[in-house]
Amino acid sequence: MRRPDPTPTPLDGVDVLLADLDGVVYTGPNALPYAVESINRAQQTIRVGYLTNNASRTDASVAAHLTELGLSVAPEDVVTSPQAAMVLLADLVPAGSTILVVGGDGLVDELRKAGFRVTRSAEDSPAAVVQGFAPEVGWSQLAEAAFALQTRPGRDDIPWVATNTDWTIPQARGIAPGNGTLVSAVHTAIGRLPVVAGKPERAIFEAAVARFGASKPLFIGDRLDTDILGANRAKITSALVMTGIDRAKQVLAAPVDSRPSYLLGDLRELFEPYPDAVTSTEKRSGDTLVTVADAVVRIRANAVRIERRGSSSIELLRAGAAAIWGTGTAIYALDVDPGLYSEA
């Protein structure tokens, strides 16, 4: 008699693993627990690429940092939001145009490699503005962008491309403002929004799939509103790892378009069986029960309760998420057991 197939892992059938960096591989300069060992293990059998919205560094500097952490990474393994921005910019302005840059070396390097002239001054009549995060960006750079972008009589508005609009960025000391806050400052001054190259837009995902020749990629991120939303828009299977920005409370409240295919406590779970959520109806009470491994969540009317915690907090979170998402009801209309978001 044939034995049933074992429960698949998130990596089964995957040909390219795509990983975000901040909050997935490292926080600030330091590797996150189990990240390097897990990625090295994956790289033994499949291609690994890296996607980052952080525009402050070049692909070579990112690769060097990852190599110092113990990974084997070449610059061509890194897809950056400035690289995706260059693809967008090429369709918006003529080749060789002068571009006003707000950002750091990562953005300047890609502009020059793409054949554009770089300026920091609106007085040079730039054909477009490209904006990305760098720690040194301040009022003067933001003001130059606003001066170049504001509407003037008798002149068409010039294009504005943002590498990304992440509101926050994880650092070793905590969570800091991201490029989205800087983009918002310029938006407040000029009253319009940029075209966005990085996550959650599709450009950076499509660039990665094309570069690595992926047919069944898996993308790992730590943010629902950029990483997971972007992967879903690009129709890429996604995993949210609970080592960065978003935590259990955000997972349970995730809107439909920002829900991941997998929830991981850390990257070791890429190689572990990933049991399905099983939904059943209790005959005696009519309540709905959602089971993941040995964790069980009960739904009675609008109340979501822990029936059995099980042996793993991540399994409990998976059960809670499946239960809440399966109701089709916004989380603010549900009475959710606090143990579901304080436990995991």
Distance, CA of 305 to CA of 320 (rounded, Å): 9
Which of 5, 20, 91, 335 is the catalytic position? 20
Which of 22, 59, 109, 246 is the catalytic position? 22
Non-local (6+) Cβ contacts of 263 within 8 A are 239, 240, 242, 251, 314, 317, 318, 321
Collapsed DSSP state (helix, strand, coil) of residue 171: strand
Closest CA to 224 of 200, 198, 196: 200
Give the distance, in angstroms, between the CA of residue 297 and the centroid of all CA atoms in the same chain.
Answer: 28
157 is a catalytic site residue: no
Helices of type H across 51-121: 59-68, 81-90, 105-113
Please say whether the beta carbons of 202 and 230 come within 8 A. Answer: yes
Distance, CA of 122 to CA of 146 (rounded, Å): 9
AA identity, residue 129: V
Closest CA to 108 of 87, 88, 127, 134: 134
AA identity, residue 175: I
20 is a catalytic site residue: yes
What does 192-213 look like in DSSP terms, one character per residue? ---EE-STTSSHHHHHHHHHHT
Determine the Cα angle at 170 with ends 169 and 174, to 5°: 120
Return the H-helix or E-strand segment holding 128: strand 128-131
Collapsed DSSP state (helix, strand, coil) of residue 97: coil
Compute φ and ψ for 152, nearest 5 degrees: -130, 140
Compute φ and ψ for 77, nearest 5 degrees: -85, -5
Positions marked active-site: 20, 22
